[in-house]
């Protein structure tokens, strides 16, 4: 099955991302292998097809930005990676690998602990305090040790640079924080379950410029340890924070390359038109 | 028509409509006020400790109380809740989770129908289903009838309230690798708690005043009984019996009992406001 896919890939437009990665000198095989791969991925909402034969590698410890006009399938692609696409009644064909293993063979509950997600609108749990929100994933999965939970809450709030701002309001509702703080709280909540990959669906589009800047700094910090895939409408943002950029259009992957190349010398005409603002 | 005349005509129409809506409001509030005032004026003079601490006096004797009926009502409502709340809650959760499909649609429709069935018919059903096989009237049969009455109300409010919780919280829970049932239990239900509690409270307030379904299920009892398989007294049946009786003393006790019943619902209402006052909002 895997061989057949590899073969069909060769006939298609093989993403350049792999070559680029292989050119990185001194990298070991394990470090060079992509963290996640989509192979001939198709996705549907009922009978409407949203993704067509997308093949894309997600390099480890890098930031991959996904850009494209509304309705191009970028969110669908992102939500396929942690099987949230199925939660809204969607279906998937083709395969997605996480460290070489097909994610469709895994229990989505366990998969999502490895592949975390941050949403467009900050969504801290309304009935939980700031501290409870951070450790919600651990607590609801059975961790009881209060001291350990408090330690993890503090650790993760520090990682998202929120600790100093909220250390005196840990017992207030999570929803009492400002929008930007809420989003960093949600990122801390995602980090607390110790994922390997973090998916971000326009994480800063509902925030003001200063909060956006903080989130971007955070992403830059996080990529040392995590693999990040970020969907964004903001091309400047993609250019600022990502190592690689994938351009989607009408449910198809048009082009993926190093971010600098996509924004200066894209191979495809459609990509150029989009990044220069001729359409979209 | 000149501008001034037109203006006057409009002012006149406005005043008429305003008075009509005002009068309608008075009619509605007035009825409520009349009921309250009448019950209070008739009942308050006959309220005494005997009424809530003593047993009914033998026929012909003055005084006595309805201690057994108060306890009986509480037992009946508890039995009804023990049956109606879980069933209504689970059915509501199911409907909220399953928007489409013929089964959910059918259940939703039947819930509406059940809500519209007169309570006396539900009493008849409880009579056939519980009383006849057991060959006796019982608290269980009364609780069963009250439970059925509670189910549609709780089901519908639970469904509506869960739906009001933004789906982003559900997604956030699932994306953290929290299983569906835990997401429902610990994320969504707490967020919908206030509304669901309102539904449960309203259903309790509704059934505590029900008489018809109790007449041929719990029957009523002039003696002290807390046994679930025996006929049991209730405040509403007490009022029904005493209001029909040809004795002034009994009629007065019926008024006093009505007053206490209204006050009980009122106090429940206050407790309910207090409990739901402090919850976080989305």
**pLDDT digits (tens), chain A, 280 positions:** 455 444 444 444 444 555 555 444 444 555 678 899 999 999 999 889 999 999 999 999 999 999 999 889 999 999 999 999 998 888 999 999 999 899 999 999 999 999 999 999 999 999 999 999 999 999 998 888 999 999 999 999 999 989 999 999 999 999 999 999 999 999 999 999 999 999 999 999 888 899 899 899 999 999 999 999 999 988 999 999 999 999 999 999 999 999 999 999 999 999 999 988 876 5
pLDDT score recorded for residue B170: 93
Q: E strands, chain A, where?
A: 36-45, 48-58, 63-67, 90-98, 101-102, 115-118, 197-201, 227-231, 244-249, 252-258
B134's enclosing H/E stretch is helix B132-134
Question: For A130-140, b where at least 16 C-beta lie within 10 A, e where not — what string?
Answer: bbbbbbbbbbb
Q: Break chain A into its structural domains and give their ranges.
A: 2-275
A84·B175 Cβ contact <8 A: yes
Gap between the Cα atoms of A206 and A82, Å rounded: 22
* Bridge partners (DSSP) listed for residue A38: A56, A96
Pick the more confident residue, B101 or A271.
A271
Cβ atoms of A84 and A117 closer than 8 Å:
yes
* Residue position matching structure tokens 């941050």: A118
Gap between the Cα atoms of A206 and B6, Å rounded: 51
Between the alpha carbon of residue B244 and those of residues A111, B62, B250, the distances in Å are 69, 17, 9
State mean pLDDT over B141-161.
Answer: 95
Would you call A109 an interface residue with chain B, using a CB distance cutoff of 8 Å? yes
Smallest Cα distance from B255 to chain A, Å: 44
Would you call A126 an interface residue with chain B, using a CB distance cutoff of 8 Å? yes
State mean pLDDT over B207-235.
Answer: 91
| Residue A178 phi, psi dihedral angles, 5° rounding | -75, 165
Gap between the Cα atoms of B180 and B192, Å rounded: 16
Gap between the Cα atoms of B242 and B254, Å rounded: 5
A127·B280 Cβ contact <8 A: yes
Smallest Cα distance from A56 to chain B, Å: 22
Could you tell me the two tokens for B198?
């309102």
Of B256, B243, B251, the residue nearest B48 (C-alpha): B256
Would you call B181 an interface residue with chain A, using a CB distance cutoff of 8 Å? no
pLDDT score recorded for residue A33: 82
pLDDT score recorded for residue A28: 56
pLDDT score recorded for residue A13: 47
Cβ atoms of B280 and A126 closer than 8 Å:
yes
Nearest CA in chain A to B180: A109
Q: How many Cβ atoms sit within 10 Å of the Cβ of residue B221?
A: 21
Of B182, B169, B198, B164, the residue nearest B96 (C-alpha): B164
* Bridge partners (DSSP) listed for residue A129: A173
Gap between the Cα atoms of A73 and A88, Å rounded: 15
Would you call B172 an interface residue with chain A, using a CB distance cutoff of 8 Å? yes
pLDDT score recorded for residue A116: 95
Residues 6+ apart with CB under 8 A from B253: B46, B51, B64, B65, B66, B242
pLDDT score recorded for residue B178: 94
Smallest Cα distance from B91 to chain A, Å: 21
Could you tell me the two tokens for B74?
């509480």
* Residue position matching structure tokens 């408090």: A150
B176·A193 Cβ contact <8 A: yes
Q: How many Cβ atoms sit within 10 Å of the Cβ of residue A70?
A: 8
* Residue position matching structure tokens 């006050």: B263
Instruction: Give the mean pLDDT of chain B.
Output: 91
Class of domain A2-275: alpha beta
- Angle CA(B206)–CA(B211)–CA(B217) in degrees, nearest 5? 115
Q: In chain A, what is the straight-line distance between the N-terminal and C-terminal CA atoms, in Å? A: 37
- Selecting from A123, A137, A189 the residue whose C-beta is nearest the C-beta of B168 gives A123
Q: What is the ipTM of this complex?
A: 0.84
Would you call B101 an interface residue with chain A, using a CB distance cutoff of 8 Å? no
Could you tell me the two tokens for B45?
């003079």
Would you call A140 an interface residue with chain B, using a CB distance cutoff of 8 Å? yes
Q: How many Cβ atoms sit within 10 Å of the Cβ of residue A221?
A: 13
- Among the residue ranges A19-33, B10-24, B33-47, the one predicted with the least confidence is A19-33
pLDDT score recorded for residue B276: 74
pLDDT score recorded for residue A31: 63
State mean pLDDT over B6-22.
Answer: 96
Order of strands, sheet of A197-201, starting from the edge strand that comes earlier in the sequence? A115-118, A197-201, A227-231, A63-67, A244-249, A252-258
Q: How many Cβ atoms sit within 10 Å of the Cβ of residue B216?
A: 18
Q: Is the pLDDT of residue B96 over 50?
A: yes
Q: In chain B, what is the straight-line distance between the N-terminal and C-terminal CA atoms, in Å? A: 55
- Selecting from A87, A109, A119 the residue whose C-beta is nearest the C-beta of B179 gives A109
Would you call A175 an interface residue with chain B, using a CB distance cutoff of 8 Å? yes
């Amino acid at each position: 099955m895997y061989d057949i896919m590899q073969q069909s890939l060769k006939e298609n437009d093989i993403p350049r991302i792999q070559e680029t990665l292989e050119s990185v000198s001194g990298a070991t095989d394990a470090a060079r292998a992509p963290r996640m791969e989509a192979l001939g991925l198709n996705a549907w909402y009922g009978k409407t097809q949203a993704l067509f034969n997308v093949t894309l590698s997600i390099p480890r410890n890098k930031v991959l930005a996904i850009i494209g006009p509304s309705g191009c399938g970028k969110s669908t692609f992102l939500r396929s990676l942690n099987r949230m696409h199925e939660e809204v009644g969607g279906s998937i064909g083709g395969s997605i690998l996480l460290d070489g293993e097909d994610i469709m063979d895994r229990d989505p509950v366990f998969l999502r602990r490895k592949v975390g997600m941050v949403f467009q609108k900050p969504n801290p749990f309304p009935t939980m305090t700031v501290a409870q929100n951070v450790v919600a994933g651990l607590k609801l999965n059975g961790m009881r040790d209060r001291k350990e939970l408090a330690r993890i809450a503090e650790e993760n709030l520090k990682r998202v640079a929120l600790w100093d701002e909220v250390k005196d309001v840990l017992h207030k509702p999570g929803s009492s924080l400002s929008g930007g703080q809420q989003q960093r709280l949600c990122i801390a909540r995602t980090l607390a379950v110790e994922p390997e990959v973090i998916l971000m669906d326009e994480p800063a589009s509902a925030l003001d410029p200063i909060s956006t800047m903080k989130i971007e700094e955070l992403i830059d910090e996080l990529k040392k340890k995590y693999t990040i895939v970020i969907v964004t409408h903001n091309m400047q943002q993609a250019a600022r924070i990502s190592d690689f950029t994938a351009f989607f259009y009408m449910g198809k992957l048009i082009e993926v390359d190093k971010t600098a190349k996509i924004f200066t010398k894209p191979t495809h005409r459609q990509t150029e038109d989009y990044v220069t603002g001729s359409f979209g | 028509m000149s501008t001034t005349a037109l203006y006057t005509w409009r002012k006149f129409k406005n005043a008429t409509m305003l008075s009509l809506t005002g009068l309608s409001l008075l009619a509605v509030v007035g009825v409520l006020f009349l009921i309250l005032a009448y019950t209070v004026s008739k009942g308050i003079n006959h309220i005494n400790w005997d009424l809530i601490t003593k047993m009914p006096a033998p026929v012909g004797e003055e005084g006595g109380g309805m201690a057994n009926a108060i306890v009986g009502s509480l037992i009946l409502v508890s039995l009804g809740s023990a049956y109606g709340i879980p069933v209504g809650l689970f059915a509501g959760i199911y409907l909220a989770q399953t928007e489409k499909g013929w089964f959910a649609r059918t259940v939703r429709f039947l819930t509406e129908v059940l809500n519209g069935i007169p309570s006396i018919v539900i009493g008849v059903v409880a009579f056939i289903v519980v009383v006849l096989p057991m060959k006796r009237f019982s608290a269980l049969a009364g609780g069963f009838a009250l439970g059925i009455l509670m189910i549609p109300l709780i089901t519908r409010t639970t469904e509506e309230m869960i739906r009001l919780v933004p789906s982003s919280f559900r997604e956030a829970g699932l994306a953290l690798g929290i299983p569906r049932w835990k997401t429902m239990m610990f994320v969504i239900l707490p967020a919908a708690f206030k509304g669901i509690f309102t539904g449960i409270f309203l259903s309790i307030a509704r059934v505590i005043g029900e008489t018809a379904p109790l007449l041929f299920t719990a029957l009523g009892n002039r003696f002290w009984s807390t046994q679930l398989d025996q006929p049991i007294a209730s405040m509403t049946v007490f009022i029904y019996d005493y209001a029909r009786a040809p004795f002034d003393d009994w009629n007065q006790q019926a008024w006093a009992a009505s007053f206490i019943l209204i006050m009980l619902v009122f106090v429940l209402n206050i407790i309910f406001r207090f409990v739901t006052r402090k919850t976080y909002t989305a």
